[in-house]
Amino acid sequence: MALKRIIPCLLYDGSGLVKTVKFKNPSYIGDPINAIKIFNEKEVDELILIDINASKQKRRPNFTKIADMAGEAFMPFAYGGGVKTFDDFATLYKLGIEKVIVNSLIQEHPETIKNVIAAYGSQAVVACIDFKKPMFSSKSPHSYTGHKIKYDIIAYANYLVKELGIGELMVQSVDKDGTWEGYDNEVIEQVVSSVDVPVIAAGGCGNLNHLKEVLYKSNAQAAAIGSMAVYSKKGMGVLINFPTRENVIQE
């Protein structure tokens, strides 16, 4: 059995780390370099950093700050936010970023993604599928930048893998983000069953049982943790956290 991965997912607003609830109301967490140093000590499997404002503010990645962060990370490091051109990808890979996470670029310039995959391989690009349930319809892919996505969740996942050649998917529930209520296991399981690439579950993790459920029942290959990685408990103060692998291994 392939090793199940647990990945802290850090949100960056351009100056510091923040945490959102349902993609809204960001609360300041602290300095990214300090957090990365602590995660080094905790020997995390991988690390994800998302600049949540880059695409909204139409700005490029801050390569200087990303270089500082990547230089501190002793684990595989994935970055997403504001990546628009082939040169942006190339620069990030040179800085030590192993995977680049794309979202709005999928709708804006899918050919750029194909070109990057042709040059660097499918494993170098992760596509993030944000999804939510509108009030009067079923759960569907969601674009925080306002793009129209014509696919349902499963069709979108297959488009990303079969048409664009994406090597890994990050499937994230907007409705679960920051709630501590657990992952949307139903959607995660459906996506895992429909594609032949690794799936990272994201959105809602609040305890060890949530991790066990999504990794061993929904069968995601990896689980991203946000609030659980930066707070001591729900409603309590900032504390960089990471569960020990022994506590998450399937019994």
Residues with catalytic function: 130
Q: Which residue, chain included where needed, has tokens 């399981």?
A: 189
Which residues are 128's β-sheet partners? 170
Residue 156 contacts by C-beta under 8 Å, 6 or more apart in sequence?
Answer: 129, 141, 149
Using an 8 Å Cβ cutoff, are 66 and 79 in contact?
Answer: yes
* CA triple 99-122-35, angle to 5 deg: 10
d(CA 149, CA 113): 17
d(CA 53, CA 23): 11
d(CA 172, CA 222): 12
Q: What are 60's two structure tokens?
A: 């490029």
Of 166, 82, 171, nearest to 131 by C-alpha is: 171
Compute φ and ψ for 11, nearest 5 degrees. Answer: -105, 130
d(CA 101, CA 55): 12
- Strand residue runs (E) in the chain: 5-12, 17-21, 24-30, 47-51, 77-80, 99-102, 125-132, 140-141, 168-173, 199-202, 222-225
d(CA 158, CA 164): 9
d(CA 39, CA 158): 33
